[in-house]
Structure 1
Amino acid sequence: MGKIVLVTGVARRLGGRFVARVQSDPQVERVIAVDAVEPEYPLEGADFVKADIRQSAIARVLAEHSVDTVVHMDVSGTALGGGSRASVKETNVIGTMQLLGACQKSPTVRRLVVKSSTNVYGSAPRDPAVYRETTPPKSLPRGGFAKDAVEVEGYVRGFARRRPDVAVCVLRFANILGPSGDTPLAEYFSLPVLPTVFGYDPRLQFVHEDDVVEVLRIGSHEAPSGTLNSGTFNIAGDGVLTLSQCSRRLGRPTVPVVLPAVTWAGSALRTLGVTDFSPEQVRLLTHGRVVETREMRDVLGFKPAYTTAETFEEFVRDRGPGLLPPRTVAGLVDRADRAATALAALPLLSRRRGDGPGDGAGSEGPRRAASGNGE
């Protein structure tokens, strides 16, 4: 008898892609696909059950199908079908609580895989250069999807303590990009002009949708060595890209905004419904975030097929050319960088020349006295 796998969040394309992949796994006997909304595409032979994980009915689904493996993918930063931010938070947090409560009571569940995010580390000016899974964040996220992810992981840790017999695998994904990506950062990169924080060029990491699907499949099984694939793992493609490099490759110009005005600009974008430009998103685009992936390789035995740069190249090809040729954007970005550097150097030059604030008659006296002593 093979595994009976329950997958949440299948109405999203990424969830549907994982269902198709795990359905073809020879170790899997049946796949139970669950969502409150019917998917707009076929689920490749999986049994679809229309159920809201925020309701207690999810416990009956686990019991009726004798589920032994749960892959929780219904943790997302964007609303499905034009829903509100409040509905997203309810699904992320309340839905996870209900699902874990059902898993705790189920005698058949033996493995839980949770799709989380590197957003749990936050983004702050004093962050370490590279985050490991055991590195505590300098400042916890205070809102948006990042805070949801922190709460979700807290509930998962509580579940792991109450059910030590269940192997729990938490996968913290870097920014996911791909043909069906519906993440806040994918929406941001789809804007015709990219608002950026003046004077900052953050480092970013990406993971390709294909790699997301594959590592979720690996997490739902035991490791080749026979050990349990349990624990918390950072998942990201090799290497990093800066935001300016991303804008060049997209062919989209940037509009630097001074930091005090960024919150206002984000509110304006949210009002227009253009993208989820939350405060945590602003912090990411200010300070960036990079994570170490050694545990992913050594314990899970997973090596991403796409690097960060290759993932972004695939994303660019899928989204099409921007407003301007990449070379033109590169030139504009370089000129903006030189202008910003020149502006930043002006106060220093003024102080050296004695023309800055506070350099008046009081500071002229010592220079004249020194000149007199030298004569």
Structure 2
Amino acid sequence: MNQDPSKRPAVVVTGISGNLGRTLAKLLHKHERIIGIDRRPFAGRPKDVEMHQLDLRKKKAEDVFRKNEIRAVIHMGIMHDPRMSEEEHHSFNVVGTTRLLEYCAKYGVSKVVVLSSANVYGPSPDNSNFLTEDAPLMAASRFSGVRDLIEVDMLAHSFFWKHPHIQTVILRPVHIVGPTIKNAPSNYLRLRHPWVMAGFDPMVQLIHVEDVARAMVEAALRPEPKGVYNVVGPGEVPLSSIHRELEREPIPVPHLVARPLLGVLFKYRLANFPPPELDHIQFLCNVDGARWRKDVSWQPQHSMRETIRSVLGE
């Protein structure tokens, strides 16, 4: 007899209603039973995706784990909003992640995937060319707004060591871009006249949103991966080459002027980026993805040109 689909072991996806979450659900739902958790509604949700519109910090989130057999959790329910206070970010991201990891341990989840970011290393004039997973997480030293993201990464790292029987994977992808993605890198690349730092042309690493979704599926469903992985796309390219591919007309701004000017523009909502984001178009933050390539035979499906042009909706 066929097993009742509602009784099959499920994959829980937090943050499923975001653009990356919807891309992941599209990949997974035909083969896996998916349970989504998000405070936001899931626009265009496939009928076979079970959805719980709730906050991870609330007690009701535990019911999802108590009432279902969960084979894997993919956690990307992380808030990235430069307009929100650090207190709100900390509560949602750190407390929410803490609760989720507690449920995973309590209810015997065997695989936990936490989506972090290569941004936790932080762009810096002192960075070596390609940072490995062992490099210190220094982003908060220049940008306090990412402190909670580093804390989430470290919580997952600690969970990995405390619960060796649970296969925990921490993915640190490079800048995610795509037609529906509205993060800082994608928004910046959509500007007709983007600022560039006069005298600087850093090498940049991008990855297509569909390749990130594939990486999370690989991490969640394959038995081998565990630990921390940098996830890279098709390579690295100078920022100036990206602008040329997109036919942009950059405005060179002296870095001593750029930060105070952007601070004023951001304060009065004339810009969407806080001043510390300028580090990403001035300094290196390139990572080594060799470990991920080796352990899962990883190859991104999208070329560099496809990845760059995806911000235009192509």
Contact 2:12/2:37, CA 8 A, preserved across alignment: yes
Q: Is the counterpart of residue 286 in structure 1 residue 288 in structure 2? A: no
Contact 2:189/2:311, CA 8 A, preserved across alignment: no
- 1:55 Cα deviation (Å)? 2.4
How far apart, CA to CA, are the structure 2 residues paired with 1:237 and 1:304? 6
The residue number in structure 1 matching 2:207 is 207
User: How far does the alpha carbon of each residue in 1:299-352 deviate from its partner, in whole angstroms, 9 at most, with x for none?
Assistant: 12221112334310232454xxxxxxxxxxxxxxxxxxxxxxxxxxxxxxxxxx
The residue number in structure 2 matching 1:119 is 119
Unaligned runs of 5+ residues in structure 2 are none
Taking structure 1 as reference, are residues 298 and 161 closer, same or farther at Cα in structure 2, changes over 3 Å only?
Answer: same
Q: Is the counterpart of residue 92 in structure 1 residue 93 in structure 2? A: yes
Taking structure 1 as reference, are residues 236 and 276 closer, same or farther at Cα in structure 2, changes over 3 Å only?
Answer: farther
How far apart, CA to CA, are the structure 2 residues paired with 1:91 and 1:20? 26
Q: Given the alignment, which residue of 51, 59, 69 partners 1:66?
A: 69
Contact 2:180/2:313, CA 8 A, preserved across alignment: no
Q: Is the counterpart of residue 218 in structure 1 residue 221 in structure 2? A: no
> What's the RMSD between the two structures over aligned residues?
2.2
User: How far does the alpha carbon of each residue in 1:117-156 deviate from its partner, in whole angstroms, 9 at most, with x for none?
Assistant: 0001111111101111123356654435533321111111
How far apart, CA to CA, are the structure 2 residues paired with 1:89 and 1:178? 27
Taking structure 1 as reference, are residues 141 and 68 closer, same or farther at Cα in structure 2, changes over 3 Å only?
Answer: farther
Taking structure 1 as reference, are residues 276 and 91 closer, same or farther at Cα in structure 2, changes over 3 Å only?
Answer: farther
The residue number in structure 2 matching 1:45 is 48
- 1:234 Cα deviation (Å)? 1.1
Q: Percent identity?
A: 24
User: How far does the alpha carbon of each residue in 1:163-187 deviate from its partner, in whole angstroms, 9 at most, with x for none?
Assistant: 2111001111111111111211111
User: How far does the alpha carbon of each residue in 1:70-98 deviate from its partner, in whole angstroms, 9 at most, with x for none?
Assistant: 1001125347xxx7355444332222122
The residue number in structure 1 matching 2:129 is 129
Q: Is the counterpart of residue 77 in structure 1 residue 73 in structure 2? A: no
The residue number in structure 1 matching 2:225 is 229
- 1:12 Cα deviation (Å)? 0.7
- Following superposition, which runs of at least 4 residues in structure 1 exceed 6 angstroms of deviation? none
Q: Is the counterpart of residue 21 in structure 1 residue 27 in structure 2? A: yes
Number of equivalenced pairs: 307
Contact 2:206/2:307, CA 8 A, preserved across alignment: yes
SS in 1 for 2:262: helix
Unaligned runs of 5+ residues in structure 1 are 319-375
How far apart, CA to CA, are the structure 2 residues paired with 1:43 and 1:90? 30
The alignment's TM-score, normalised by the length of structure 1, stands at 0.76
1:252-331 correspondence to structure 2 within 5 Å: 252-273=248-269, 275-316=271-312, 318=314
SS in 2 for 1:170: strand
Contact 1:193/1:252, CA 8 A, preserved across alignment: yes
How far apart, CA to CA, are the structure 1 residues paired with 2:139 and 2:311? 31
**Which has more radius of gyration?**
1
Higher-RCO chain (CA-CA 8 Å, sequence separation at least 6): 2
* One-letter amino acid matched to 1:60: D
- 1:53 Cα deviation (Å)? 1.1
